[in-house]
């Protein structure tokens, strides 16, 4: 069965921009006020970053399927995605506050870290998953540079306390992998999953 519209279960403006870049029509399918979306993102003891990001993404898809049914919306594929930054096997989630963001950026300074973005597309044909793995190398950053970047407010709400498409681009020495994946939605993998789910775009 072919579909012309996709449900996007993500609040990220970057994911919306990237879907638009692909030429995909979508409708937002965001959590209800009584849904605890943050609880889905809790890390399990001993969980690897790779397992974590894929599990959270799949859980988001299950929650979105239930949401679609509850709202009696027409059948169409649902897209969820989750991005995590990890350094030496340690997951760097979204910073809780400015000091947390500064500590994360200081840890990333002068190092190479991994950015993992999982994508799930759930439809009547079942759920299909993909994982994009990229490496990002930061140059060494001075304390005042980190403080200025944190003061901009950009690191808050972002995994690893930075957005590659924003001011943090000046710290990025090298990337290996998917630029769109580092932004939060790997377009190569996403397009393949959407076609599998019968989406026309």
CATH of the domain at 47: 3.90.950.10
Q: Is the pLDDT of residue 10 over 80?
A: yes
CA pseudo-torsion sign 168, 91, 20, 34: negative
Whether residue 1 is contained in a domain is answered as no
Q: What is the pLDDT of residues 110-166, one digit of tens each?
A: 999 999 999 999 988 899 999 999 999 999 999 999 999 999 999 998 999 999 999
Contacts of range 146-149, beta carbons closer than 8 Å, 24 or more positions apart: 146/102, 146/105, 146/106, 146/109, 147/102, 149/105
The yes-or-no answer on residue 33 being catalytic is no
Helices (H), 113-169: 143-151
Whether residue 201 is contained in a domain is answered as no
Q: How confident is the model at residue 39 (pLDDT cuts 50, 70, 90)?
A: confident
Whether residue 115 is contained in a domain is answered as yes
For residue 31, the tally of other CB atoms under 10 A from its CB is 16
Count of domains for the chain: 1
Chain mean position to CA 153? 19
3 state SS of 201: coil
pLDDT for the residue numbered 37: 75
Distance separating alpha carbons of residues 37 and 34, to the nearest angstrom: 9
Q: Which domain holds residue 31?
A: 6-196
Distance separating alpha carbons of residues 70 and 36, to the nearest angstrom: 16
Among candidate residues 50, 51, 82, 144, the one labeled active-site is: 82
Whether residue 136 is contained in a domain is answered as yes
């Amino acid at each position: 069965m072919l579909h012309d519209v996709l449900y996007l279960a993500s609040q990220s403006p970057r994911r919306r921009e990237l879907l638009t870049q692909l030429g995909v029509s979508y409708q937002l399918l965001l959590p209800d006020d009584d849904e605890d979306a943050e609880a889905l993102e809790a890390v399990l003891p001993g969980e690897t970053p790779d397992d974590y990001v894929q599990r959270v993404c799949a859980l988001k898809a299950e929650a979105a399927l239930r949401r679609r049914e509850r709202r009696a919306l027409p059948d169409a594929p649902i897209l969820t995605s989750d991005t995590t930054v990890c350094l030496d096997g340690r997951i760097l989630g979204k910073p809780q506050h400015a000091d947390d963001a500064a500590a994360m950026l200081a840890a990333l300074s002068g190092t190479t870290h991994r950015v993992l973005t999982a994508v799930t597309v759930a439809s009547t044909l079942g759920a299909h998953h993909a994982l994009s793995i990229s490496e990002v190398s930061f140059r060494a950053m001075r304390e005042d540079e980190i403080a200025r970047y944190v003061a901009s407010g950009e690191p808050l709400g972002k995994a690893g306390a930075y957005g590659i498409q924003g001011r943090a681009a000046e710290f990025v020495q090298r990337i290996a992998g998917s630029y769109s994946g580092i932004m939060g939605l790997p377009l190569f993998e996403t397009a393949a999953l959407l076609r599998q789910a019968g989406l026309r775009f």
